[in-house]
Amino acid sequence: MDKLPAFFPFTQVVGQDDMKRALLLNIVDPGIGGVLIKGEKGTAKSTTVRSLNWILPYRKAVKGCPFHCQFGREDRYCPYCSERLAKGEKLEPEDVRMRVIDLPLSATEDRVSGTLDLEHVLKTGEKKFEPGVLAAANGNILYVDEVNLLDDHLVDLLLDSAAMGTNYVEREGVSFSHPARFVLIGTMNPEEGDLRPQLLDRFGLSVDIKGERDVKMRAEVVKKRVEYDLDPEAYIAKCSKDLEAMTAKIEKAIELHPKVKAGDDVIDMVVSVMVHFGVDGHRADITLMKAAKANAALEGRTEVTKDDIRQTAELVLSHRLKRKPFEEKALDREELEECLANL
């Protein structure tokens, strides 16, 4: 098993099944659009996101590329890889493991997007780019804790880059772009303020979590954390087989995902759910379709069923529902069941 910092093991996180499912779905299909996790303090939001480091799969990247371009996808190569190809150089692959990249709240726009050395350009005529956080995030997970406290223009920058899969930097008429395909995960405490509605809708999935109220489950949380804190390395070693099995499950789902099919009946179900709950636009419909297909792949199936919609609909809808002032933003599961029963 890889030598990593002492992250708590993902497989040992107690409860919070919706949060864990939302994270796994985005690993299987990054095109879902990321996850926004909202919850009170002390509900394992950050712990769970960082624990993904133990189960993230490997991928093939171009060896020596500062952006870790996806090997074999020439249409997604950075300018450096494209230039090497044009010169007749044979690019080699290397296996790199996906990882969680943290974005500090204090980060500036230059730190996030990277900077162009204009003086170097003027002197030599060659572009010199200093990679930023978005370069490191390519092919990985970009994690923003307290995303609601991040400057709006930075949130816009992250969401735009995630949607386009490219980071574009321009300074004084000189431009540079590189691949920036990543899964954006944000966590926040609603007591500290909310995101603008326009930004909320840009997150593919959203989860509202609360602390455990069941005495046995709550006790289990305490026991596991105390044992882990006593000897993290021993605790992680004890969980190694479970972690490796979870990684293998994710890798199998990623391989299976392109083969997953959804019939017209499933598409009709997805659209009917959105119409029933009065969701505007078509982004939610497409996101639910993607989430249902990723869920089927996780379950080892190549056909989307009503159960896949049932398990993912709340993740897609919870932050998109229209609510009256002071009304709780939560999906009525009984209403969802009634809606699906009639389809």
Catalytic residue positions, numbered: 283
How far apart, in whole angstroms, are the C-alpha atoms of residue 38 and residue 209? 6
Per-residue burial over 135-163, b = 16 or more CB atoms within 10 Å of its CB, e = otherwise: bbbbbbbbbbbebbebeeebbebbbebbe
Contact 188, 232 (CB under 8 A): no
For 72, residues 6+ apart whose C-beta sits below 8 A from its C-beta are 60, 93
Q: Hey, what are 261's tokens? A: 């099919």
Listed residue (183, 145, 181, 138) closest to 37, CA to CA: 145
CA angle 337, 339, 343 (to 5 degrees): 110
Secondary element (H or E) of residue 226 = helix 215-230
Q: Hey, what are 314's tokens? A: 């709340």
How far apart, in whole angstroms, are the C-alpha atoms of residue 184 and residue 172? 29
